[in-house]
Chains A and B, each alone.
Chain A
Amino acid sequence: MKVLVFVEQRGGKSKSSALEALSVGARLAGSTADLAAVVVGKGVEGIAGSLKGYGADTVYVVDQAAFDLYNPVAYAAAVEAAIKAHGAKVVVGLAAPMTRDLFPRLAARFDGGILTDVTAVELAGSNLQGVKPMYAGKVLAKVETQNAPVQFVSVRPNTFKAENKGTGNAALSKLDVAAPADSRIKTLEVRKGASERPDLTEAPLIVSGGRAMGSSDNFKILNELADVIHATVGASRAAVDSGYASHDMQVGQTGKTVNPNVYIACGISGSIQHMAGMRTSKVIVAVNTDPEAPIFKVANYGIVADLFQAVPVFTQKFKALLEK
């Protein structure tokens, strides 16, 4: 099966989970000749080399000034060119902001099928079969593409393993793509975020605070804990709506869906909407004064205590442990 993997990059660096998508692509393609990757941007040729060994013989690179910043119309033209160059029937990407913006446009362009944010995917004949959480993760749906000349799938970050099997040369193949001349959309700028931490959707470790944090200042103790274990700090909707945390930190139904190895919920009761965003976390730790809080039903480990007492102890203990 001819498979193309869209390798997301920002600022000349590929996303840390991009190799997970590439490994999914390698499994679906079956042979290195059938797997190709595409990187779009400016000054991104170097990324091709970093993909060596992950199963693709070819890396298409669209490396031009016009593609410096993400633009849905320009990037769609670039990936369209790579799909055609490779003859791809399956296109794989990450369920991250760029790909989730880009793939539906391409699926419509190719009159294709699309599966989004899957936690499992395989081929069934010439169709893609996937599993995706729906209804806030309350059910898992079996989804399948059909009648699709080209099919697109985005995989949930931190779900699939990135495996360097030492196969595939990842030889660079430059594609010359003209950015659409009549494009009615221009990317003016990309403003840097305040946080230098990994994004919540990709973070392997997350410390989150709820309404019980009481103020934005109090998030300081979560930041201190996060610094020690290299985690990203999140928040519940209640904390965001109370003005304790910024909207882009919100985990849950109207915030971000996260999938870390460890999710430490501090003073979060665990509403259905919050669980929607974090229930696929591999290990959940809850700290709450209310022993009846629903968060304890999904937590692997829980402590019934005041977070203001427990969090600084966590910070100390982890520090001691990691310094060993």
Chain B
Amino acid sequence: MKILVLLKQTPDTESKIQISADGSKIETAALKYIINPYDEFAIEEALKIKEKAGSGEVVIASFAGDSAKELIVKGLAMGGDRGLLVSADGLDGLDSLSVAKILAAAVKAENPDLVLVGKQAIDDDNMHVGVMLAELLKWPHVNVVTKLTLNGKTAVAEREVEGGQVEVYELELPAVIGAQKALNTPRYASLPGIMKAKKKPLDTKKPSDYGVDAAALKAAPKAVVRGFTPPPEKPAGKVFKGEDVAVMVDKVVKLLREEAKVI
């Protein structure tokens, strides 16, 4: 079985996000990038599937700038077999459908049995690309998956929805699966893994290698970000301390009733 894992580089969750002076963009120079946390669950799941089958190939791929190479290598250090970076200058900020189109072309060329992605990226929180990719390929998808069982050319996937409900699907491969946190616990890269990763193949391709005119996609986006503003400042709250607990609670309950009018 050949599994393609798609990862996105996202700013470390602890990063301070700085908006440029003119409000047009996020200052990226000082940002530290990590593998999108949900994508780590996707990598782990791919490795587990391969280990259980006793054979197969796990390809760690990304559509990103050159800086993502480091993160692909991290995926290889966890146990991936081969890396693939689809890259081109000047394609920052491409909308999700354009990204999905480029990835769909790469997936077609790779022809895997399964594509694993994180359920969403923690930067834009859109939850678009994996699902769009499935539609462009005319493949089934299940997103927000907390349990995946493969059975030859079919799979059973459990998906988390609201109120603790779980939807259970049976689907035929190839398919796109979006990983949710509860799916597994991602492993750390071992030291031998890190040493080996540097020797594993990491190909770099351009969208044009897959017959995609990325410049045309960039010129006619379906969605654009027009600018950023900080969230509105909240006035300082009323914090009580040093009094009897019952007195403090009473004050807060009164404020909820009379000032905030929410209870």
Residues of A at the B interface (CB closer than 8 Å) are 10, 69-73, 76, 96-98, 100-101, 104-109, 111-117, 129, 132-148, 183-195, 197-202, 229, 246-248, 250, 253-255, 257, 261-262, 272-273, 276, 279, 282-286, 291, 296, 298-306, 309-310, 313-314, 317-318, 321-322
Contacts and interface: CB of A to CB of B under 8 A. Distances in A.
B252 A255 contact: no
Interface of A is mostly: mixed
12 contacts: A104-B127, A104-B129, A108-B132, A135-B17, A136-B125, A141-B226, A144-B223, A185-B172, A185-B175, A187-B167, A283-B260, A285-B252
Nearest to A254: B181
A146 B221 contact: yes
Contact of B161 (A71, A97, A254, A321): A97
B132 to A, nearest CB: 4
A98 B159 CA distance: 11
B14 A272 contact: yes
Interface core residue of B95, B224, B245 (most chain A CB under 10 Å): B245
Nearest to B120: A100
B132 A107 contact: yes
B192 interface: no
B224 A317 contact: no
Contact of B125 (A111, A133, A314, A317): A133
A73 B135 CA distance: 9
Given A143-B224, A279-B231, A302 B237 contact: yes
B171 A104 contact: no
Interface string B93-137: 001110010000000000000000000001111111101101110
Contacts of A104: 96, 126-129, 131-132, 135
Given A147-B221, A262-B256, A301-B255, A202 B127 contact: no
Contacts of B164: 192-195, 246, 248
Contact of A105 (B141, B146, B160, B161): B141
A186 to B, nearest CB: 5
Nearest to B12: A272
A142 B227 contact: yes
Interface string B221-263: 1111111111100100111111001101110110111001011
Given A114-B96, A135-B123, A184 B248 contact: no
Contacts, number: 279
Contact of B166 (A193, A273, A302, A314): A193
Given A193-B165, A303-B240, A321-B253, A97 B171 contact: no
Contact of B37 (A71, A145, A253, A296): A253
Given A107-B97, A262-B263, A300-B238, A190 B166 contact: yes
A185 B171 contact: yes
B150 interface: no
A144 to B, nearest CB: 5
Nearest to A303: B248
A173 B205 CA distance: 50
B237 A301 contact: yes
A205 B211 CA distance: 51
A309 to B, nearest CB: 5
B188 interface: no
A148 B192 CA distance: 49
